[in-house]
Amino acid sequence: MIKRAFDLVVSVAALVVTSPVLLATAIAIKLDSRGPVFYGHARVGKDGVPFRMLKLRSMVVDADRKGGSLTVSGDPRITRVGRFIRKWKIDELPNFVNVLWGEMSIVGPRGEHPRYVALYTEAQRRVLSVKPGITDPALAGIYRNEQELLARVEDPEAYYVDVILQDYLRMNLEYVDAGFSLWRDLTIVARTAWAVFTGR
């Protein structure tokens, strides 16, 4: 109940405070390229239930058909506005709507694409016992700039599956197994904000 109350309070406050940014970004997206303002990413939620994670569109229309599900820094599918909003994580602001709907939490394991969830071992599927989060221990730390890291390797898909995904799962399983702590969630949120605004 405490975690849900925290999610609701933070989400409402975030959407109210960032509403001018959302409006300005929506206008910029429409002026920059054809297509809708919002995009729903296929993700797997709590207990393996699929849902659409809302984001501001940062890529060209039909980007999924023009490339893989992974996005690397410099991907030609990313629009001009998309490059900016991805850098500052503005594209993820609609995630707070998913939190209000009860599909996500402010802090929780990474909401992963179905194709990668299919690769989970039985033990790794424990991350699906809680709601996915807007941020998690990995995003608050070493994988804040995941796209740039993937751009530096020869085979981004293999590197993601063999290295990054395994790190995500290890850190998020530790988060799940430790149980809920409001202080830990606040710490992860603070670290994420610091990483976004400083680039560290």
Segment 100-136, tens digit of pLDDT: 999 999 999 999 999 999 999 999 999 999 999 999 9
Query: What's the pLDDT at 18?
Result: 97
Q: Can you tell me whether residue 48 is helix, strand or coil?
A: helix
Q: Point out the residues of the chain with pLDDT beneath 50.
A: none
Query: What's the pLDDT at 200?
Result: 65
Domain count, the chain: 1
Give the residue numbers spanning the domain of 15. Answer: 2-198
Q: Can you tell me whether residue 72 is helix, strand or coil?
A: coil
Q: Can you tell me whether residue 44 is helix, strand or coil?
A: strand
Query: What's the pLDDT at 195?
Result: 84
